[in-house]
Structure 1
């Protein structure tokens, strides 16, 4: 069965994570993604490590499967003309160059749309293409700080802490996929492409969700709560006899069930703890009461009991435990791919589960320029022209 996006051609002029993560999702869904880099490879993640497997970066491998690779020197007019040629029958062009770069090269949307009015053109930058910060470079870590995410991550003792992965890059990639797919759908009605201006800062601010809403409604600047929830109690990490357990009680009935299971049913009737609003006000006292009881059993014992009683809970896994977990394995979230240089590599599977047009992993993350001749021949270049472009260091 063909992928859901089979027949969609994507020109991918992105590097590092936000853009490549976006285009990898499109590729997993069947799009023909052509990864464009400078000769020799210009995606910095190719060289980020360790770890490497046979010289191939684990970071690069995480976001570039299912793509074909072409190398083009965009600093030359001949190289830019190749991109214009490829854009003639492309459905999507996506880049993450600084604001103004594509205009300088005459590869901007206003230029390209005259070549292909149906083209969907996605720009990913740190701050977007408007506003006083539009010319500044944007990096996930910096955006986590500027957006307020770090101000609410960590504890009062730890100070501001960044999220353990480049989550703003990942979320921007996801929002970009949504925007591209929306534009593809709209094009079916209008016959026209359009441009999308995606910003890491916009994405990060959007991700503040209820914390942002709490501030906008109350005017109170939120403080770091560590593993606690600003609106719900008990919804945190607790200590059992041998380690930590997450308990995420979402309503008063679940709280009553929790109290009954751990042997303190009277606490659920106490006016200080009976309602969630009261529990939020008296969180410190309640936490002490709960942890005194939780010390009576191990984390695994409590998880077994709570799961049986439908009390939301869970362990805190390390990476080895994650990728040995039966649920993760049953959902095909670890896949094996053969790479011509790295050999057999393990990659994280796709979380997108469609019943008919399944997401597939059919291509290894490409070597820089691996498909240059193939792609150019498909675009109408002769073998002689391709050879000449190579001699002139255009490709």
Structure 2
């Protein structure tokens, strides 16, 4: 899959996770992405580790494939002039530097769009524009804390817990890519570029529509539910004889099938568990009862039995088990790309296929300033 963005030139003026992930998506979809990095040091993630993979940070290699790299110092007049020429010929500029950083160097959205009226200028921030915190920098764990995500993550009564992936960074990158695709479509109609804004805080709120809806409905602040969720039960992880299994019995027929499989007709007739609202209200008691039954067999046996009667379930696996699983291999979700320094280099593909094909893995993450001569010549 070559991607529909062939011929689109993207300036990736980003660092860390959110911005690079947005540009990675555009690059995987066929855009020609130039990563503009700080002269001398480059993207912060180049130094994130250990581990390092043949001297390179796995963070950087995972987030910066299908890109070329040039290094500039925008405080240097010659480099600023070069960057201006890049802006003049770009279709898209994505940036997630500290608020105001590009503007102080003469390349804020207004200045860039005056230079290139067809430019789509996508600005990524922590707290969004407006409001008393708009000028503050923000990182994924800070925004998980501020947005309420940490208050609902982890076990009831336990300490605050961060979702241990950069869900807000990468989610914001996804929204940025969606916004850019929309703006490109609009530019096809009008001929004009635009200034786009996305934020980690906006992403964090958008990840919680059900939680916010419940709060708006009855004023109750959601608490921590461990592996569970609001409004449905059993819909969580349960211990088995040798591990854990997640069971999602999201309707009455699945609940009855689960009870029959466990040989627990008493749970069906117990008024505490009669209907879903009853089970939600008595989730702690039901967790104890189901755990008692599930402890009789191992995870693999339960997964097989639950799947046989149509009750949705999954074992809790570690990453080595996931990568080795025949389903992941069968999907082709892990791809390889020729790498000059890492012979066994592998990476996760974008989770989309077009006509049965994944987006092409054209090139690995670049060395700092690796492509300055060829891009500047172009």
Normalised by the size of structure 2, how large is the TM-score? 0.96
Query: Once the two structures are superposed, what CA deviation does each residue of 1:143-193 show, in whole Å capped at 9, x if it has no partner?
Result: 110000000001133211001111110111111111111111111111111
Check 1:358–1:230 CA distance in 2 against 1; reply closer, same or farther (3 A cut): closer
Query: Once the two structures are superposed, what CA deviation does each residue of 1:231-284 show, in whole Å capped at 9, x if it has no partner?
Result: 111011111111111001111111011111111134224332121011111222
Q: Please name the residue that 1:220 is paired with.
A: 220
Q: Which runs of 5+ in 1 are unaligned?
A: 379-395
Q: Distance in 1 between matches of 2:87 and 2:357?
A: 26
Instruction: Determine helix, strand or coil for the equivalent of 1:338.
Output: coil
Matches within 5 A, 1:318-329: 318-329=318-329
Q: Please name the residue that 1:389 is paired with.
A: none
Q: Which runs of 5+ in 2 are unaligned?
A: none
Q: Please name the residue that 2:197 is paired with.
A: 197
Matches within 5 A, 1:116-195: 116-195=116-195
| Residues 2, 360 of structure 2: 8 Å contact kept | no
Check 1:351–1:12 CA distance in 2 against 1; reply closer, same or farther (3 A cut): same
Q: Please name the residue that 1:244 is paired with.
A: 244
Check 1:2–1:237 CA distance in 2 against 1; reply closer, same or farther (3 A cut): closer
Q: Distance in 1 between matches of 2:29 and 2:127?
A: 28
How many residue pairs are counted as aligned between the two chains? 378
Q: Distance in 1 between matches of 2:162 and 2:357?
A: 37
Please report how far the alpha carbon of residue 357 of structure 1 lies from its aligned counterpart in structure 2 after TM superposition: 7.1
Please report how far the alpha carbon of residue 41 of structure 1 lies from its aligned counterpart in structure 2 after TM superposition: 3.9
| Residues 99, 129 of structure 1: 8 Å contact kept | no
Please report how far the alpha carbon of residue 371 of structure 1 lies from its aligned counterpart in structure 2 after TM superposition: 0.6
Q: Please name the residue that 1:22 is paired with.
A: 22
Instruction: Determine helix, strand or coil for the equivalent of 2:324.
Output: coil
Q: Distance in 2 between matches of 1:335 and 1:270?
A: 50
Q: Please name the residue that 1:391 is paired with.
A: none
Query: Once the two structures are superposed, what CA deviation does each residue of 1:192-240 show, in whole Å capped at 9, x if it has no partner?
Result: 1111111111111221121121112211111111122221110111111
| Residues 2, 357 of structure 1: 8 Å contact kept | no
| Residues 350, 358 of structure 2: 8 Å contact kept | no
Please report how far the alpha carbon of residue 288 of structure 1 lies from its aligned counterpart in structure 2 after TM superposition: 1.8
Q: Distance in 1 between matches of 2:125 and 2:294?
A: 47
Q: Please name the residue that 2:58 is paired with.
A: 58
| Residues 241, 295 of structure 1: 8 Å contact kept | yes
Q: Please name the residue that 2:377 is paired with.
A: 377
Please report how far the alpha carbon of residue 358 of structure 1 lies from its aligned counterpart in structure 2 after TM superposition: 4.2
